[in-house]
Chain A
Amino acid sequence: MIESVICTGCGCLCDDLDVTIEGDRVIEVANVCLWGVNKFIATKKFHSKKDRRRILAPQSRRKGRAFDISYDAALEEAGNILVQARRPLVYGLTNNGSWAQEAALRLARRWHARLEPGDLAFMAPYYEALARHGLYWAPLEEIRDEADTILFWGANPIHSCPRHVVRYSVFSRGRFTERGAEERQIAAVDIYPTETAKFCKPYIQIDPGQELELLQGLIAQLIEGQEPPKRVKGTKKLAKLLSEANFGAIFVGRGVSYGPARKLWEGLARLVVWLNTRVPFSLFPLASDFNSVGLYHLLLRETGSPYAPDFGASSGLSSHPTPVDWREVDALLVTGADLFWFLTEEQVQDLKRRQVPIMVLSPFANRTTAKAQVVFPVALSGIETEEVAYRMDGLPVGLQKLISSPFRPDHQVLADLEQILAGSSGG
Chain B
Amino acid sequence: MRLKIAQGRLYDPAQGWDGEVGDLYIEGERIVAPLAEVDLVIDAQGQLVLAGGIDLRGQVATYGLNMLRLWGWLPSPREIGELYAGLGYTHVHEPFLTLYTAKYVHRELAALPIVDTSASLAVNLRDLDKWLKSPEQLGEVEQNIQFLVKQTRALNVRIIEPYVRFRQDYYAHRNIATENLLELLTRLAQGQNSTLTLEASPELLRQPLPDPPAFHLAALGPALTEAELVQAALNHLDQGGSADLGLMQPAGYESWPNLPVQINMGFFRPLDLCPSPSQDAALRALELALQYQGANLAFSGAGPLLAPVSGYARMFSWLTDPSARLQDWGAELGDRAYSLADWINMTRTLPARLLGFRDRGHLGIGARADLAIYDLPKNTDKIDLSQYLGRCRTLLKAGNLVIDNFNLINPEIARATYYLQTGGEASPWLGEMCQYRSFRLENLWVHDHLGGDWVGVQ
Contact = CB atoms under 8 A, between A and B. Distances in A.
A266 interface: no
Nearest to A299: B69
A145 B264 contact: no
Contacts of B264: 136-139, 142, 280, 282
Nearest to A176: B168
B173 interface: no
Contacts of A397: 103, 439, 443
Interface in A5-61: 6, 15-16
B259 A398 contact: no
B438 A167 contact: yes
B262 A4 contact: no
B443 A15 contact: yes
Contact of B76 (A138, A140, A304, A306): A304
Interface stretch (A126-134, A187-195, A373-381, A408-416): A126-134
Given A136-B260, A301-B69, A16 B64 contact: no
B67 A135 contact: yes
B76 A302 contact: yes
Contact of B447 (A167, A304, A398): A398
Interface string B238-260: 00000000000000000000011
Contacts of A273: 260
Contacts of B71: 131
A297 interface: yes
B104 A395 contact: yes
B450 A388 contact: yes
The residue in B70, B76, B167 that gathers the most chain A C-beta atoms within 10 A of its C-beta is B70
A178 B261 CA distance: 29
Nearest to B64: A137
B76 A394 contact: no
Contacts of B259: 133-135
Interface in A379-419: 386, 388, 394-398
Nearest to A399: B449
A3 B108 CA distance: 28
B266 interface: yes
A396 B436 contact: no
Interface string B426-437: 000000000011
A189 to B, nearest CB: 24
A131 B70 contact: yes
Interface string B162-189: 0000011001000000000000000000
A176 B168 CA distance: 8
B72 interface: yes
A305 B69 contact: yes
A175 B126 CA distance: 11
Interface of B is mostly: loop
Contacts of A398: 103, 443, 447, 449-450
B77 interface: yes
B442 interface: yes
B2 interface: no
Interface in B102-127: 103-104, 107-108, 111
A371 interface: no
A395 B64 contact: no
Contacts of A133: 259
A4 B438 contact: no
Given A131-B70, A300-B66, A304-B69, A136 B262 contact: yes
Contacts of B64: 135, 137, 394
Contacts of A424: none
B100 A396 contact: no
B224 interface: no
B353 interface: no
Contacts of B171: 176
Contact of A396 (B104, B274, B438): B104
Interface string A57-85: 00000000000000000000000000000
Nearest to A175: B436
A141 B76 contact: no
A174 interface: yes
B54 to A, nearest CB: 24
B314 to A, nearest CB: 23
Contacts of A301: 66, 69, 76-77, 108, 111
Given A127-B70, A138-B264, A395 B442 contact: no
Interface string A80-108: 00000000000000000010000000000
B404 to A, nearest CB: 23
B22 interface: no
B111 A300 contact: no
B128 interface: no
Contacts of A262: none
Contacts of A136: 260, 262, 264, 270
B265 interface: yes
B5 interface: no
A276 interface: yes
A246 B438 CA distance: 21
Contacts of A254: none
Nearest to B73: A304
B72 A304 contact: yes
Interface string A211-237: 000000000000000000000000000
Contacts of B437: 141
Interface string B273-311: 010000000000000000000000000000000000000
Contact of A16 (B67, B72, B167, B440): B440
B63 interface: yes
A388 B107 CA distance: 10
Contacts of A173: 436
B235 interface: no
Contacts of B439: 15, 397
Contact of B104 (A146, A305, A394): A394
Interface string A221-262: 000000000000000000000000011000000000000000
A130 to B, nearest CB: 6
A386 B101 contact: no
B308 to A, nearest CB: 15
Contacts of A168: 438
Contact of B440 (A4, A131, A174): A4
A114 interface: no
Interface in B60-86: 63-64, 66-67, 69-72, 76-77
Nearest to A386: B449
B69 A300 contact: yes
A270 to B, nearest CB: 12
A306 B266 contact: no
A422 B85 CA distance: 29
Contacts of A145: 266, 436
Contacts of B265: 139, 142
B103 A137 contact: no
Contacts of B66: 297, 300-301
A364 B437 CA distance: 34
A144 interface: yes
Contacts of B442: 3-4
B352 to A, nearest CB: 29
B401 interface: no
For the complex of A and B, 5 pairs with smallest distance between CB atoms: A134-B259, A134-B260, A138-B264, A15-B443, A175-B436
19 contacts: A133-B259, A134-B259, A136-B270, A137-B262, A137-B263, A138-B263, A141-B100, A144-B436, A146-B167, A172-B438, A173-B436, A246-B167, A276-B262, A280-B264, A297-B66, A301-B66, A302-B76, A395-B101, A397-B439
Given A127-B70, A300-B69, 10 more contacts: A135-B64, A141-B438, A176-B171, A282-B264, A300-B67, A304-B69, A395-B103, A397-B443, A398-B443, A398-B450
Interface of A: 3-4, 6, 15-16, 98, 127, 130-131, 133-142, 144-146, 167-168, 172-176, 246-247, 273, 276, 280, 282, 297, 300-306, 386, 388, 394-398
